[in-house]
Amino acid sequence: MSLELTTLLIFLSSIFAGVVGSILGLGGGIIIVPALTLLFGLDITTAVAASAVSVIATSSGAAVAYLKKGISNTRIAILLQVGTTMGALTGALLAGLLDPRWIFILFGLLMGYSAYAMYQARRTEVPDSVVSDRLAQRLRLEGVYYDQALDRLVEYGVTRTVPGMALMYGSGTVAGLLGIGAGAFKVLAMDQVMGLPIKVSTATSNYMIGVTAASSALIYFIRGDIQALVAGPTALGVLVGAMIGARLMVRMKGSTIRTLFIPVLLVIAVQMIWKGAMM
């Protein structure tokens, strides 16, 4: 394959990753890493480094639209970010010290169970009457946004704030160890634990993933793992995809997003259990 063609193909497949990632609040690493290694034959270090850049591109590319539409909740994002960044740090420190096999299998099973829970709740547009807990009230985490698909304002409460943060810490640790699943766990914690509407969950997760990825991307820069001809077209493609995805997502029904989420959760669950079992 010529250099021009490879660059173009990386760009085009990254658009797809950006669309999927921005709608579901994931980094798109589950698409980018296999695409770069399997389709383009790149080594895993280069692919993972490009994937960290692509997570940031997904996050920032979609964030402009989500901020303007008021769908992402920046207060919840920054609060939960304490948990995820501390978790990522713990994961980085534990790597090599701990046999992560059982953690992978445990979280893989948890992810599989979440796919089932998501399937059961697949028709839910907006959770009804979530009463905010005391901490959420004190920190003013509740919010309101205009839902284009439902054509009405959606007011939402936030519950189980502390368990939500604890799950963020756990998922941050796992993501730091394994390198996948960070975005999916954020969405699940907000949707299934804290009772947020699915669109708020994915948009807020999308907002958060860039911040955690920024520190890993910086580390890859320092190590010299970021290659211009790989990370460049990936970043551009993902940016374009994320802008398209964000525009699609604001018009989508919550139930559609839930349905799209189920197979992705299953894939991540299988990946995690597989990696754990293979260790």
Partner 1 sequence: MNLIEDRIAIILKLGLILSSSLIGIGLASLLTGFESAWGQWLVTAGLVVLVATPILRVVMALFGYLMERDFTFVMISLSVLLILVVGVWVGAPH
Phi first, then psi: give them for residue 40, nearest 5 degrees: -110, 0
For partner 1, what does the binding mask look like between residues 120 and 139, x meaning CB under 8 A? -------------------x
Residue 130, helix vs strand vs coil: coil
246 within 8 A of 65, measured Cβ to Cβ: yes
Which lies closer to partner 1 via its Cβ, residue 158 or residue 273?
158
Examine residue 14 and tell whether it contacts partner 1 (CB under 8 A): no
Burial of 57-76, coded b for 16+ CB within 10 Å and e otherwise, reads: bbbbbbbebbeebebbbeeb
Token pair belonging to 159: 């519950």
Which lies closer to partner 1 via its Cβ, residue 80 or residue 269?
80
**Smallest distance from partner 1 to CB 62, Å:** 10
**Smallest distance from partner 1 to CB 59, Å:** 6
Examine residue 12 and tell whether it contacts partner 1 (CB under 8 A): no
Examine residue 48 and tell whether it contacts partner 1 (CB under 8 A): no
Token pair belonging to 7: 């660059």
Element (H, E) at 251: helix 228-251
Token pair belonging to 186: 């954020």
How many other CB atoms sit within 10 Å of the CB of residue 116?
13
Examine residue 223 and tell whether it contacts partner 1 (CB under 8 A): yes
**Smallest distance from partner 1 to CB 271, Å:** 23
d(CA 172, CA 185): 9
Examine residue 215 and tell whether it contacts partner 1 (CB under 8 A): yes
Sign, CA torsion 261/264/269/270: positive
Token pair belonging to 24: 């579901």
Examine residue 53 and tell whether it contacts partner 1 (CB under 8 A): yes
Which lies closer to partner 1 via its Cβ, residue 1 or residue 218?
218
List the one residue from 9, 67, 121, 260 that touches partner 1 (CB under 8 A).
67
Rounded to 10 deg, the angle between the 3-24 and 254-278 helix axes is 110
Q: How many residues bind partner 1, per CB under 8 A? A: 49
Residues that bind partner 1 (CB under 8 A): 3-4, 7, 53, 56-57, 59-61, 63-64, 67-68, 70, 74-75, 78-79, 81-82, 85-86, 88-89, 92-93, 139, 207, 210-211, 213-219, 221-223, 226, 228-229, 231-233, 235-236, 239
